[in-house]
Amino acid sequence: MLRKTEFKVNQFKSRNATVHGVFQEHVRSNPEKILLINNERQWTSRDIDQFSNRVASYFTDQVGLKPGDEVALFMKSCPEYIGIWLGLAKAGIVTALINTNQRMTPLVHSINTVNSKAVIFDAGLASGKNQYT
């Protein structure tokens, strides 16, 4: 299994493949394959692709972000996290993945270091009354 993974990674590197480009290939060949299961919902390749397209459209059309802009993503692990990350990548937006264990000064530093034009966050992390505080 490791050799097969190494082979695939080397193939992607040799053709300068992007994460969202590889994902698009996967969607074309396996649109109904279940990729993620969260609670009782199952997300297929097509579901994640459609969600990420809406994210890309929203952040370019409504928010006005452009390729090369930087955004901080501060969310717990969930299918939407992956869809947001892929959607931003499709739009050419650079995403800084911020560790959800960070608080106060380290969190501010992480967001400011990447020159974020926006911060996308899980509302539960904003309340200050979550399990990490």
So what's the pLDDT on residue 79? 93
Long-range contacts of 77-86 (CB under 8 A, 24+ apart): 78/38, 79/36, 79/38, 79/41, 79/43, 79/48, 79/51, 80/51, 82/36, 82/48, 83/48, 83/51, 83/52, 83/55, 84/52, 84/55, 84/120, 86/19, 86/20, 86/23, 86/48, 86/49, 86/52, 86/55
pTM of the model: 0.84
Q: Domain total for the chain?
A: 1
What domain range includes position 26?
A: 17-123
CATH number for the domain including 59?
Answer: 3.40.50.980
Confirm whether 83 is domain-assigned: yes
Which residues of the chain have a pLDDT value below 50? 130-133
